[in-house]
């Protein structure tokens, strides 16, 4: 049970880092008030890069965290960033990443629990 809670916490923390890095990259790349296509493509690598660094530091499974980080990026963060007016506080994106990481970790946790229960029978 502790390992599932750790996975939940790591996923939430990953969401925070993905959102922070995306918003910082977005702010840096849009200093000229344009968000060009090549800049958008550059920001698409942030979730996978963050997941790779994160899994190396904490010695976690890379593929799972790449999937979670990209899901976090697409649903709460990217939607909020492109639907926003531009005057939202930075902490709102951090909280979206935290909640997104917690939410997207649940299918992986449930799958692991069900798989372990079925393998015992």
Residue 37 corresponds to which tokens in the numbers above?
A: 């296509």
**Rounded to an integer, what distance in angstroms lies between the CA atom of residue 94 and that of residue 53?**
19
**Rounded to an integer, what distance in angstroms lies between the CA atom of residue 55 and that of residue 37?**
29
Under a CB-based contact definition with an 8 Å cutoff, are residues 103 and 12 in contact?
A: no
Query: Which residues make Cβ contacts (< 8 Å) with residue 106, sequence separation at least 6?
Result: 8
Q: Reply yes or no on whether the pLDDT at 86 is more than 90.
A: no
pTM of the model: 0.91
Under a CB-based contact definition with an 8 Å cutoff, are residues 15 and 102 in contact?
A: yes
Per-residue pLDDT of 5-48, as tens digits, reads: 999 999 999 999 999 999 999 889 989 988 889 998 999 999 99
Q: Among residues 17, 21, 43, which one has the least CA distance to residue 100? A: 17
- Domain enclosing residue 71, as ranges: 2-120
Structural domain count of the chain: 1
**Rounded to an integer, what distance in angstroms lies between the CA atom of residue 105 and that of residue 4?**
9
């Amino acid at each position: 049970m502790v390992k599932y809670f750790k996975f939940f916490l790591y996923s939430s923390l990953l969401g925070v880092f993905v959102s922070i890095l995306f918003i910082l990259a977005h702010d840096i790349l849009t200093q000229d008030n344009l968000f060009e296509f090549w800049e958008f493509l550059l920001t698409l690598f942030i979730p996978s890069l963050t997941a790779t660094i994160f899994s190396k530091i904490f010695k976690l499974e890379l593929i799972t965290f790449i999937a979670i980080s990209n899901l976090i990026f697409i649903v709460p963060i990217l939607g909020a960033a492109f639907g926003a007016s531009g005057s939202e506080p930075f902490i709102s994106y951090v909280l979206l990443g935290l909640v997104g990481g917690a939410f997207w970790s649940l299918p992986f946790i449930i799958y692991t629990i069900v798989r372990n229960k079925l393998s015992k029978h």
